[in-house]
A and B are shown apart, each in its own frame.
Chain A
Protein backbone atom coordinates (compact mmCIF):
# COMPACT_ATOMS: atom_id res chain seq x y z
CA UNK A 1 0.00 0.00 0.00
CA UNK A 2 1.15 3.48 -0.80
CA UNK A 3 2.00 5.59 2.24
CA UNK A 4 2.83 9.23 2.86
CA UNK A 5 4.95 10.17 5.88
CA UNK A 6 5.35 13.59 7.43
CA UNK A 7 7.88 13.23 10.22
CA UNK A 8 7.41 16.67 11.79
CA UNK A 9 4.15 16.95 13.76
CA UNK A 10 4.92 20.60 14.53
CA UNK A 11 7.33 23.25 13.29
CA UNK A 12 7.93 26.81 14.44
CA UNK A 13 9.55 29.65 12.51
CA UNK A 14 10.12 33.35 13.02
CA UNK A 15 8.20 35.70 10.77
CA UNK A 16 10.18 36.53 7.58
CA UNK A 17 12.38 33.44 7.98
CA UNK A 18 12.42 30.32 5.81
CA UNK A 19 11.07 26.94 6.87
CA UNK A 20 11.09 23.52 5.22
CA UNK A 21 8.46 20.85 5.83
CA UNK A 22 9.38 17.25 5.07
CA UNK A 23 7.44 14.54 3.27
CA UNK A 24 8.37 11.08 2.07
CA UNK A 25 6.18 8.67 0.18
CA UNK A 26 6.20 5.12 -1.03
CA UNK A 27 5.19 4.12 -4.54
CA UNK A 28 6.09 1.71 -7.31
CA UNK A 29 4.71 4.03 -10.01
CA UNK A 30 6.98 5.99 -12.32
CA UNK A 31 4.64 8.79 -13.39
CA UNK A 32 2.58 10.53 -10.75
CA UNK A 33 1.81 13.84 -9.10
CA UNK A 34 2.39 15.15 -5.61
CA UNK A 35 0.58 17.87 -3.72
CA UNK A 36 0.91 20.09 -0.67
CA UNK A 37 -2.32 21.31 0.91
CA UNK A 38 -2.72 24.01 3.55
CA UNK A 39 -5.47 23.87 6.18
CA UNK A 40 -5.75 27.15 8.15
CA UNK A 41 -7.87 27.48 11.30
CA UNK A 42 -10.96 27.83 9.08
CA UNK A 43 -10.28 24.17 8.14
CA UNK A 44 -10.72 24.87 4.43
CA UNK A 45 -8.25 22.73 2.47
CA UNK A 46 -6.29 24.86 0.01
CA UNK A 47 -4.00 23.50 -2.69
CA UNK A 48 -0.59 25.13 -2.25
CA UNK A 49 1.56 23.49 -4.90
CA UNK A 50 1.63 20.56 -7.30
CA UNK A 51 4.62 18.65 -8.68
CA UNK A 52 4.71 16.34 -11.68
CA UNK A 53 7.11 13.46 -11.09
CA UNK A 54 8.38 13.29 -14.65
CA UNK A 55 9.52 16.92 -14.53
CA UNK A 56 13.06 17.54 -13.32
CA UNK A 57 12.31 21.13 -12.38
CA UNK A 58 11.00 21.78 -8.90
CA UNK A 59 7.61 23.52 -8.76
CA UNK A 60 7.38 27.07 -7.44
CA UNK A 61 4.40 29.22 -6.49
CA UNK A 62 5.45 32.64 -5.22
CA UNK A 63 7.00 32.09 -1.76
CA UNK A 64 6.33 28.34 -1.86
CA UNK A 65 8.66 25.90 -3.56
CA UNK A 66 9.38 22.19 -3.39
CA UNK A 67 12.50 20.09 -3.28
CA UNK A 68 11.53 16.95 -5.16
CA UNK A 69 13.96 14.03 -4.99
CA UNK A 70 12.36 11.24 -7.02
CA UNK A 71 14.94 8.56 -6.29
CA UNK A 72 14.71 9.23 -2.57
CA UNK A 73 10.89 9.58 -2.76
CA UNK A 74 11.13 12.87 -0.94
CA UNK A 75 8.92 15.92 -1.48
CA UNK A 76 9.65 18.79 0.90
CA UNK A 77 7.94 22.18 0.96
CA UNK A 78 9.95 25.35 1.47
CA UNK A 79 8.20 28.52 2.59
CA UNK A 80 10.27 31.66 2.18
CA UNK A 81 9.68 34.98 3.94
CA UNK A 82 7.17 33.35 6.32
CA UNK A 83 4.08 35.40 7.10
CA UNK A 84 1.57 35.19 9.93
CA UNK A 85 -1.03 34.01 7.43
CA UNK A 86 1.07 30.94 6.70
CA UNK A 87 0.21 29.50 10.11
CA UNK A 88 -1.76 26.32 9.39
CA UNK A 89 -1.67 22.56 9.11
CA UNK A 90 0.17 21.41 6.00
CA UNK A 91 -0.56 18.08 4.38
CA UNK A 92 1.45 16.25 1.78
CA UNK A 93 -0.67 14.11 -0.57
CA UNK A 94 -0.11 11.50 -3.25
CA UNK A 95 -2.69 10.13 -5.74
CA UNK A 96 -2.19 6.37 -6.19
CA UNK A 97 -3.08 5.27 -9.69
CA UNK A 98 -3.62 8.82 -10.88
CA UNK A 99 -5.94 9.90 -8.10
CA UNK A 100 -9.27 8.58 -9.36
CA UNK A 101 -9.47 6.32 -6.31
CA UNK A 102 -8.63 9.02 -3.80
CA UNK A 103 -5.65 10.96 -2.51
CA UNK A 104 -3.46 9.49 0.24
CA UNK A 105 -2.53 12.10 2.83
CA UNK A 106 0.21 12.36 5.40
CA UNK A 107 -0.75 13.11 8.99
CA UNK A 108 0.18 16.75 8.65
CA UNK A 109 2.61 19.29 10.07
CA UNK A 110 1.37 22.10 12.27
CA UNK A 111 3.26 25.25 11.32
CA UNK A 112 3.52 28.03 13.89
CA UNK A 113 4.72 31.49 12.87
CA UNK A 114 6.38 33.49 15.67
CA UNK A 115 5.94 37.27 15.27
Chain B
Protein backbone atom coordinates (compact mmCIF):
# COMPACT_ATOMS: atom_id res chain seq x y z
CA UNK B 1 0.00 0.00 0.00
CA UNK B 2 1.18 3.52 -0.77
CA UNK B 3 1.75 5.92 2.07
CA UNK B 4 4.14 8.00 4.14
CA UNK B 5 6.40 6.45 6.73
CA UNK B 6 7.83 8.52 9.56
CA UNK B 7 10.43 7.17 11.92
CA UNK B 8 11.02 6.89 14.73
CA UNK B 9 7.63 7.24 16.43
CA UNK B 10 9.26 8.55 19.62
CA UNK B 11 12.60 10.32 19.87
CA UNK B 12 14.50 11.68 22.82
CA UNK B 13 17.25 14.24 22.47
CA UNK B 14 19.66 15.77 24.90
CA UNK B 15 20.00 19.51 24.89
CA UNK B 16 22.66 20.68 22.46
CA UNK B 17 22.33 17.72 20.13
CA UNK B 18 21.13 17.64 16.56
CA UNK B 19 18.59 14.98 15.64
CA UNK B 20 17.14 13.87 12.30
CA UNK B 21 13.56 12.78 11.69
CA UNK B 22 12.92 10.50 8.75
CA UNK B 23 10.09 10.83 6.22
CA UNK B 24 9.69 8.48 3.24
CA UNK B 25 6.82 8.28 0.75
CA UNK B 26 6.00 5.82 -2.03
CA UNK B 27 3.08 7.77 -3.46
CA UNK B 28 5.14 9.35 -6.26
CA UNK B 29 4.14 12.78 -4.94
CA UNK B 30 6.29 15.70 -5.99
CA UNK B 31 5.70 17.93 -2.97
CA UNK B 32 6.59 17.17 0.64
CA UNK B 33 6.06 19.16 3.83
CA UNK B 34 7.07 19.25 7.48
CA UNK B 35 4.68 20.54 10.14
CA UNK B 36 5.10 21.06 13.84
CA UNK B 37 2.16 20.56 16.19
CA UNK B 38 1.99 22.00 19.70
CA UNK B 39 -1.03 21.87 22.04
CA UNK B 40 -3.51 24.61 21.15
CA UNK B 41 -1.44 25.78 18.16
CA UNK B 42 -2.71 23.69 15.30
CA UNK B 43 -0.14 22.74 12.66
CA UNK B 44 2.60 25.15 11.66
CA UNK B 45 4.69 24.79 8.50
CA UNK B 46 8.44 24.34 8.97
CA UNK B 47 9.80 23.57 5.49
CA UNK B 48 8.47 22.32 2.20
CA UNK B 49 9.82 21.00 -1.07
CA UNK B 50 8.06 20.97 -4.41
CA UNK B 51 10.83 19.22 -6.32
CA UNK B 52 14.04 17.30 -5.75
CA UNK B 53 17.03 19.42 -4.72
CA UNK B 54 14.85 22.42 -3.91
CA UNK B 55 13.08 23.47 -0.72
CA UNK B 56 11.63 26.58 0.91
CA UNK B 57 11.25 27.87 4.44
CA UNK B 58 7.85 27.83 6.02
CA UNK B 59 6.56 29.96 8.88
CA UNK B 60 8.82 28.57 11.62
CA UNK B 61 12.03 27.40 9.89
CA UNK B 62 14.51 28.78 12.43
CA UNK B 63 16.49 26.00 14.09
CA UNK B 64 15.57 23.40 11.48
CA UNK B 65 17.16 22.14 8.27
CA UNK B 66 16.06 19.79 5.50
CA UNK B 67 17.34 18.06 2.37
CA UNK B 68 15.59 16.62 -0.68
CA UNK B 69 18.08 14.43 -2.52
CA UNK B 70 15.48 11.88 -3.61
CA UNK B 71 11.83 12.29 -4.53
CA UNK B 72 10.82 9.74 -1.92
CA UNK B 73 12.68 11.20 1.04
CA UNK B 74 12.51 14.48 2.97
CA UNK B 75 14.40 14.26 6.28
CA UNK B 76 14.15 17.02 8.88
CA UNK B 77 17.05 17.89 11.18
CA UNK B 78 16.27 19.63 14.44
CA UNK B 79 19.41 21.53 15.34
CA UNK B 80 20.68 22.74 18.69
CA UNK B 81 19.64 26.24 17.60
CA UNK B 82 15.96 25.30 17.97
CA UNK B 83 15.09 26.72 21.40
CA UNK B 84 12.00 24.68 22.12
CA UNK B 85 12.11 21.49 20.04
CA UNK B 86 9.79 19.32 22.13
CA UNK B 87 6.75 18.82 19.90
CA UNK B 88 4.93 16.45 17.58
CA UNK B 89 6.24 16.53 14.01
CA UNK B 90 4.16 15.58 10.99
CA UNK B 91 5.36 14.95 7.46
CA UNK B 92 2.98 15.25 4.51
CA UNK B 93 3.02 14.97 0.74
CA UNK B 94 0.76 16.14 -2.04
CA UNK B 95 0.15 15.79 -5.74
CA UNK B 96 -0.71 18.54 -8.16
CA UNK B 97 -0.19 21.47 -5.81
CA UNK B 98 -2.28 20.24 -2.93
CA UNK B 99 -5.81 20.98 -4.14
CA UNK B 100 -6.70 17.36 -3.50
CA UNK B 101 -5.41 17.56 0.03
CA UNK B 102 -2.32 16.26 1.67
CA UNK B 103 -1.45 12.73 2.81
CA UNK B 104 0.14 12.65 6.27
CA UNK B 105 2.51 10.31 8.02
CA UNK B 106 1.81 9.07 11.54
CA UNK B 107 4.17 11.55 13.17
CA UNK B 108 7.22 11.65 15.42
CA UNK B 109 7.06 12.80 19.01
CA UNK B 110 10.34 14.55 19.91
CA UNK B 111 11.20 15.17 23.54
CA UNK B 112 14.24 17.04 24.82
CA UNK B 113 15.60 15.55 28.02
Interface segment, one of B20-28, B62-70, B77-85, B102-110: B102-110
Main SS class of interface, B: strand
A107–B92 CA distance with the chains assembled, in angstroms: 18
Q: Is the interface of A mostly helix, strand, loop or mixed?
A: loop
Contacts known (A42-B106, A43-B107, A44-B104); A99 close to B42, Cβ less than 8 A:
no
Q: Which residues of B contact A (CB under 8 A)?
A: 31, 33, 40-45, 48, 50, 56, 58, 88, 90, 92, 94, 97-102, 104, 106-107
Count the A-B residue pairs with Cβ separation under 8 angstroms: how many? Answer: 59
**Is A33 engaged at the interface, CB distance under 8 Å to the other chain?**
yes
Question: Within the assembled complex, what's the spacing in Å between the Cα atoms of A99 and B56?
Answer: 14
User: A101–B56 contact, CB under 8 A?
Assistant: yes
6 residue pairs bridging A and B, Cβ less than 8 Å apart: A44-B106, A91-B42, A100-B97, A103-B102, A107-B41, A107-B42
